[in-house]
Amino acid sequence: MKRQRIVIKIGSSSLTTKQGALDLEKLEGYVRAIVNLRKAGHEVILISSGAVAAGFSRLGYPVRPTTMAGKQAAAAVGQALLMQHYMERFHQHGIIAAQLLLTRKDFQNQTQYTNAYSALMELLKRRALPIINENDSTSIAELTFGDNDMLSALVSGLIHAHTLCILTDVNGLYDANPKTHPNAKRYQYLPTIPDEMLQMGGEAGSNVGTGGMKSKVAAAQTALSLGVDVFIGKASGEHALLDILSGKGDGTYVGNTGDLMEGKTKQWIRLHSPVSGVVRIDQGAERAIMNEGKSLLPAGVTSVHGTFQAGDVVHIWNEQNKVIAKGQVTLSSEQLRKVQGRKSDEAKQLIPLVRDEVVHRDQLVIQEKELNES
């Protein structure tokens, strides 16, 4: 079997008892399955839910709390418990486990995004096992990644994983809700995620998790766009993860994309970067960007909207007010207004240019959609 980089996402319902407590027997089973993946030569990153479920009983809650403060307090206790169990059990197999807590801000800020990538690459290089969870105790909107489903998709794209395994208590994707439609058909394989399937997904199926099949379908769609194949289903037994990689998993396989999307800079621009302004361009510049893979030069800019600095990300509009691209500018809005419509030689006489391009093609992604000018 070819050596792969694999992201394993384990949901709360897969780690807890019916009463919501952390199930150490289940956790031990996943640890053994991951150990076998490592022994087979694969690189593994674990995205583990379960912090809130592990911690709420320790704080005296009879059931999983429903308030944000209660969930965050439970996560603060439960995350430590969860990591303690993981670290002890992986240590028994000679594996060093490392904890990373991430929030949406870590993906939106380019420096933090790059730092997260560097840390993960270094941990993998050192043969450590990164264990990632959302920082539930400080997140403004609790569990904003959807029970870590979207977090697992974004991490798998960030590190250029080959496969994302989203493990849950349902054995794959169906053409209808199997709980209400006994004759629902399970998909063994899907090349892509149809848009209508996003409308079919249900909410969380237990009282210890926050995600549902809808969030898993959305995460799979995102992972596919990043060049990552996806498995959604169950995993039981110490050889379950190896079975998944060999095509014998109890669930649905999605993808076989083959090609990875852009590198981390373009990926950040496409998915996470905040937009600080708009640059409108003429037809010649649009053709150069869309059809010829070229950079945007000052000569092609017809107008500048908003206030931004060099290094910020802007939308690029064509003459029909349509967003055709998103890119990281080399000039501030003030500088760009001085040189818009001018050839590079003329622009250099007006302001000091570090480079000829307003947006270099390596910092530009095509992103065509309708947008009305406000």
Residue 213 counted as an annotated binding residue: yes
Residues 371/323, Cβ–Cβ less than 8 Å: yes
Q: What token pair was written down for 331?
A: 């000039």
239 DSSP assignment = T
| CA-angle at 115, arms to 110 and 117, nearest 5° | 95
Q: What is the largest CA-CA distance in the chain?
A: 73
> 3-class DSSP state for residue 337?
helix
Q: What sign has the CA pseudo-torsion 56, 57, 60, 64?
A: positive
Asked if residue 14 belongs to a known ligand binding site, the reply is no
Contacts of 235 (CB under 8 A, 6+ apart): 14, 30, 33, 165, 167, 241, 244, 249, 250
Q: Helix count (H) and strand count (E) of the chain?
A: 13, 13
* Residue 212 annotated as lining a ligand binding site: yes
- Name the amino acid, one letter, at 7: V
211 is in an annotated binding site: yes
* 115 marked as binding residue: no
Compute the half-sphere exposure of residue 245: CA atoms within 13 Å on the CB side of its CA. Answer: 23
210 assigned binding-site residue: yes
Report residue 109 as tokens: 């800020």
User: DSSP class of residue 169?
Assistant: S
Q: Read off the tokens for 57.
A: 């009983």
Q: Is 151 helix (H, G, I), strand (E, B) or coil?
A: helix
Is 216 annotated as belonging to a binding site?
yes
Annotated binding site: 9, 49, 136, 148, 168-169, 210-216
Annotated binding site for substrate: 49, 136, 148
Annotated binding site for ATP: 9, 168-169, 210-216
